[in-house]
Amino acid sequence: MTKGRPRARRLALYLTCIEIPLAPMAGTYKKWAADLQAQYNALDVGQRKLARQVGRRLIKRAGSIAIALASLPDPVVQLIQTDSPLGATRTRSRQRQFDELRQRWSALTPPCPSCRMRNGFPKRSWPTREWAYEVWGRQHDRDALRVYECPVQPGFWHLGHFRMAVLAHVTTALGALFDGVQE
Q: How far is the CB of 114 from Zn ion (least distance, A)?
A: 5
95, 64, 77: which is closest to 22 by C-alpha?
Answer: 77
Q: d(Cα 66, Cα 59) in Å, to the nearest integer?
A: 8
Rg (CA), the chain: 19
Task: Identify which of residues 24 and 111 has a Cβ nearer to Zn ion in the complex.
Answer: 111
Number of chain positions touching Zn ion (CB under 5 A): 4
Task: Identify which of residues 10 and 124 has a Cβ nearer to Zn ion in the complex.
Answer: 124
- Strands 122-124 and 111-116 come out as antiparallel
Burial class (CB in 10 A: 0-12, 13-18, 19+), 100: middle
Buried b (16+ CB within 10 A) or exposed e, 107-125: bbbbbbeebebeeeeebbb
Q: How far is the CB of 94 from Zn ion (least distance, A)?
A: 23
Task: Identify which of residues 6 and 155 has a Cβ nearer to Zn ion in the complex.
Answer: 155
Q: Does 150 bind Zn ion (CB under 5 A)?
A: yes
Candidate ranges 41-49, 72-80, 102-110, 146-154; the one touching Zn ion (CB under 5 A): 146-154
Considering only residues 18, 112, 135, 147, which one is a binding residue for Zn ion as defined by CB under 5 A?
Answer: 112
Q: Does 115 bind Zn ion (CB under 5 A)?
A: yes
Residues that bind Zn ion (CB under 5 A): 112, 114-115, 150
